């Protein structure tokens, strides 16, 4: 049990993600994370004072990965090409919304460094929407999206649609196809 095994940030954040999704904020402990990594709790405490600091750094890293991924959507593509790629990317990060929602639970009273991390996440969240709004605007210009639909409403609808639990047991590819069709075509059958 007294393990001196080394770990890297990638392993730490992969295990953090797995554990936070399994247990939620209340069930997440440094001790359980240490077991998953097969290291001592002290090994983690060398880098993080507490779980809140770790979780916020993990959230910032996840958001950064999403921002980088979304910025790789080629500008020269058509709306349909972009929206298809965007939906695939959002689906890859479908747990992000749930994870980021936990930041509201993290106490920051008397912890300015944690408050600063929350502010950074908020700014990153706004930055995330910029390339997405451009894609929606392109869809409106190309005549695929009704002009009156507010961009924020449509983006929220897209994100929430992808976050719906898969109670039907469909494989990810089939589920993504159905979600894509619902978002792009609705539920009314074309005659």
**For residue range 106-155, what is the model confidence (pLDDT) as tens digits?**
998 889 999 999 999 999 988 888 888 999 999 999 999 999 999 999 98
36 versus 159: the higher-pLDDT residue is 36
Per-residue pLDDT band for 96 (boundaries 50, 70, 90) equals confident
Q: What is the pLDDT of residue 4?
A: 57
Q: Are 30 and 54 in contact (CB under 8 A)?
A: yes
Least confident of 1-5, 86-90, 93-97, 105-109: 1-5
Q: What is the pLDDT of residue 37?
A: 95
Q: Does the pLDDT at position 101 exceed 90?
A: no
> Quick one: average pLDDT of 89-99?
87
Q: Does the pLDDT at position 2 exceed 60?
A: no
Q: What is the pLDDT of residue 184?
A: 83
Q: Does the pLDDT at position 1 exceed 80?
A: no
Distances (CA, A) of 188 to 84, 86, 191: 20, 23, 9
Q: What is the pLDDT of residue 34?
A: 96
Distances (CA, A) of 23 to 11, 19, 48, 170: 18, 6, 20, 24
Q: Tell the CATH topology of 50-185.
A: Tetracycline Repressor; domain 2 (1.10.357)
CATH of 1-47, one of 2.60.120.380, 3.40.50.150, 3.90.550.10, 1.10.10.60: 1.10.10.60
Q: Could you state, in order of their start, the residue ranges of all structural domains in the chain?
A: 1-47, 50-185
Instruction: Round to the nearest angstrom and report the end-to-end CA distance of the chain.
Output: 66
Instruction: Count other Cβ atoms within 10 Å, centred on residue 90.
Output: 23
Q: Which residue is associated with the tokens 């790789």? A: 72
> Quick one: average pLDDT of 152-170?
86
75 versus 191: the higher-pLDDT residue is 75
């Amino acid at each position: 049990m007294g393990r001196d095994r080394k770990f890297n940030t990638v392993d730490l954040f992969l295990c953090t993600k797995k554990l936070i999704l399994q247990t939620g904020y209340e069930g997440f402990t440094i001790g359980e994370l240490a077991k998953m990594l097969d290291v001592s709790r002290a090994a983690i405490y060398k880098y993080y004072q507490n779980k809140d600091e770790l979780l916020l750094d993990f959230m910032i890293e996840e958001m950064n990965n999403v921002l980088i991924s979304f910025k790789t959507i080629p500008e020269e593509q058509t709306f349909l090409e972009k929206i298809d790629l965007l939906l695939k990317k959002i689906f890859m990060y479908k747990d992000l919304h749930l994870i980021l929602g936990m930041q509201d639970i993290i106490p920051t009273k008397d912890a300015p460094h944690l408050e600063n991390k929350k502010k950074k996440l908020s700014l990153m969240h706004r930055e995330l929407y910029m390339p997405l709004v451009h894609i929606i605007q392109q869809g409106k210009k190309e005549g695929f999206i009704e002009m009156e639909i507010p961009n924020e409403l449509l983006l929220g609808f897209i994100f929430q649609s992808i976050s719906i639990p898969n109670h039907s047991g469909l494989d990810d590819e089939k589920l993504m196809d159905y979600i894509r069709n619902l978002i792009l075509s609705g539920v009314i059958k074309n005659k």
